[in-house]
């Protein structure tokens, strides 16, 4: 099938959007939740309350983000089982994923004291900030079992090609968090502890909802074996290990940008933080098409349908590119106004405007890496993802070292090069090295 033929198929385009738009919409609630948290705590009488929530939340988010492979690995293997029309195989992945999630949650709870006593001082801040960060963390950490379970349940729903169901899980969960935030902090005056309890209870509320949604997917399955099976779990663990290493490299590169920006001055790091919000918006939009690719590629891989696999990649790449172009135009035309809306501090505005051109170029440089991440997750091929990320991370540090004399421009050049390298390395592997038949026979 030619590229022209693929792009001309309306039904395939509709299927791509049907999978992508619910996740794009639900992703919008994530920054909205952060804004509500900030607004609610930010109206208390001291700045250190907001600082404490920011630091405590950052540590929790880092832990959960590093364990995000639970969602990705589950989506990939469930989608393949769905493509092969094997409900028992999907159920086995779900059970194994839940076992792994609860085991990791137990480890996080057992390690909470060293994390608390080392992580918060490492994050810095005044004594008051660290005090309230510790208070926030000590409450939120008990939501780890629900948070990690939610990742697996969300992965199962996405792998089954149920993005609208997954969307309601995220929308209602984040909505509950917002309502409880307002009740506990504004209504009852619980302060920082109220924000922590709101997030904790929202995690368990979301888990209960997700469990019902998953049960509805399984209730018509006949003769499902409910006893957990360890056979085959090695594949899930191996895939999750590779995704974890890939995520660790990604986090190191982004953290390096923040740390080196801080060395260049408070206004520079603040200006970078404003611009990184634009990257966050890009990632939320492009992740929708990455989720679509995960599901469609996983189904094609499970059904051993090379034509459908190619169609999913081409359509995902095409619409990701169109979306990236729209963002580039948006940032070029309205970026200055957006920066002025985000901050009133003139020094921060000045620095953000000075480096805005990098963000204008970033969507077109980065969209391929988001799409191909989804492709390789769907194919459950963690090793190429890991290797591509290692090469790209090496490229990032080499670019920064070679252009470090340019200061913050050198940092942004390295970041843009890093995102481009991720897309190029995975794209090259897909075009030159990926031979589905070899993997299917194995």
Give pLDDT tens digits for 296-323: 898 888 888 888 889 989 999 999 999 9
Q: How far apart are CA 62 and CA 317, in angstroms?
A: 29
pLDDT of residue 63: 83
Mean pLDDT of the chain: 83
pLDDT of residue 45: 65
pLDDT of residue 228: 62
Do residues 158 and 291 touch, judged by C-beta distance below 8 A?
yes
231 has pLDDT over 70 = no
Nearest to 37 by CA among 151, 181, 205: 181
Angle (CA) 430-85-224 rounded to 5° is: 130
pTM for this entry: 0.80
**DSSP per-residue string spanning 1-12:** --HHHHHT-HHH
> Among 108-112, 120-124, 262-266, 365-369, which stretch is predicted with the lowest mean pLDDT?
120-124
**pLDDT tens digits, one per residue of 151-177:** 899 889 888 888 777 778 777 887 888
């Amino acid at each position: 099938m030619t590229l022209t033929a693929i792009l001309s198929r309306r039904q395939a385009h509709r299927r791509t959007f049907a999978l992508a738009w619910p996740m794009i919409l639900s992703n919008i609630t994530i920054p909205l939740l952060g804004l509500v948290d900030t607004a609610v705590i930010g109206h208390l009488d001291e700045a250190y309350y907001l600082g404490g929530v920011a630091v405590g939340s950052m540590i929790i988010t880092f832990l959960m983000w590093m364990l995000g492979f639970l969602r990705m690995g589950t989506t990939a293997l469930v989608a393949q089982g769905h493509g092969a029309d094997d409900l028992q195989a999907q159920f086995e992945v779900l059970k194994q994923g839940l076992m792994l999630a609860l085991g990791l949650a137990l480890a996080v709870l057992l390690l909470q004291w060293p994390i608390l006593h080392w992580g918060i001082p490492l994050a810095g801040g005044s004594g008051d900030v660290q005090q309230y960060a510790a208070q926030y963390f000590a409450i939120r950490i008990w939501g780890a079992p629900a948070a990690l379970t939610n990742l697996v349940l969300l992965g199962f729903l996405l792998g089954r090609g149920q993005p609208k169901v997954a969307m309601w899980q995220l929308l209602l969960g984040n909505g509950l968090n917002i309502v409880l935030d307002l009740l506990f902090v504004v209504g009852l005056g619980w302060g920082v502890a109220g924000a922590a309890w709101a997030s904790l209870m929202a995690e368990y509320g979301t888990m209960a909802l997700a469990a019902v949604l998953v049960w509805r997917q399984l209730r018509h399955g006949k003769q499902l074996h409910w006893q957990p099976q360890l056979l085959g779990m090695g594949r899930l663990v191996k895939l999750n290990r590779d995704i974890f290493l890939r995520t660790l490299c990604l986090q190191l590169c982004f953290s390096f940008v923040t740390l080196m920006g801080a060395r260049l001055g408070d206004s520079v790091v603040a200006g970078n933080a404003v611009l990184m919000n634009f990257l966050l918006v890009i990632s939320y939009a492009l992740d929708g098409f990455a989720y679509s690719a995960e599901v469609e590629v996983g189904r094609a891989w499970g059904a051993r349908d090379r034509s459908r696999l190619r169609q999913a990649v081409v359509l995902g790449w095409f619409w990701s590119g169109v979306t990236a172009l729209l963002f580039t135009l948006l940032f070029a035309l309205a970026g200055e106004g957006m920066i002025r809306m985000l901050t009133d501090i003139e020094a921060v505005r000045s620095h953000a405007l000075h480096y805005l051109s990098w963000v204008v170029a970033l969507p077109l440089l980065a969209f391929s890496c988001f799409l191909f991440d989804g492709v390789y997750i769907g194919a459950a091929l963690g090793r190429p993802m890991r290797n591509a990320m290692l090469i790209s991370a090496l490229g990032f540090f080499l670019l920064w070292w070679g252009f470090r004399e340019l200061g913050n421009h050198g940092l942004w050049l390295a970041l843009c090069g890093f995102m481009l390298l991720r897309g190029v390395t995975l794209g090259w592997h897909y075009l030159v090295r990926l031979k589905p038949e070899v993997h299917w026979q194995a």
